[in-house]
Amino acid sequence: MAQLTLIIGNKNYSSWSLRAWLLLKHAGVEFEEILIQLDTPATHDEIDRYGPSGRVPILRHGELADIERIDEIWNDIRQRFGSGGPWLFGAEYTVADAMYAPVVLRFNTYGARISQTARWYMASVLEDAALQAWLAAAKQEPWTIAADEVG
């Protein structure tokens, strides 16, 4: 198995980096840590060296692409725990489904190539009434952030 590398932002400011770092530590997973100082002229270029999101944390696993790794995770969880329903862990919606909802939206937007199992899971998330209510409300918001708009 290839070595994991966790790319994080400043420990004093990046709470998202803290989440990933804590999870790996508590799971006893060995990983290399790369810290990128946030809010400097070089921050964006440094983050781009490791992934296209422009955000930290980034978890790298050898040459495995992020989409492929998430597909593997979804397949494994669905196989072991998900036979009782449409969500990752079966019949009940869990925090895992909430955490992966933005990923599902990105995969849908960019047409990610994923397995049949992952497509079924994505369909469940995309059809969720609560997510649909969020998306409908988002479309009604009158403001935009120009730097975050594409095209």
Q: What stretches of 13-146 show up as alpha helix (H) in DSSP?
A: 15-26, 43-48, 66-81, 95-110, 116-127, 129-140
Please, what is the Cα angle at 63 between 18 and 27, to 5 degrees? 35
Q: Has this prediction a pTM greater than 0.95? A: no
Residue in this structure with the two tokens 């196989």, named with its chain if needed: 79
Amino acid residing at 123: A
Q: What mean pLDDT comes out for the span 28-52?
A: 91
Whether the predicted pLDDT of 20 surpasses 60: yes
pLDDT of residue 151: 57
Percentage of the residues of the chain whose pLDDT score is greater than 90: 62
Give the mean pLDDT of 65-85: 89
In this prediction, what percent of the chain has a pLDDT beyond 70?
A: 96
Phi and psi angles of residue 64, each rounded to the nearest 5 degrees, phi first: -65, 125
Q: What is the mean pLDDT of residues 51-74?
A: 82
Residue whose pair of structure tokens reads 């692409």 in the numeric block: 65
124 — pLDDT class (breaks 50, 70, 90): very high
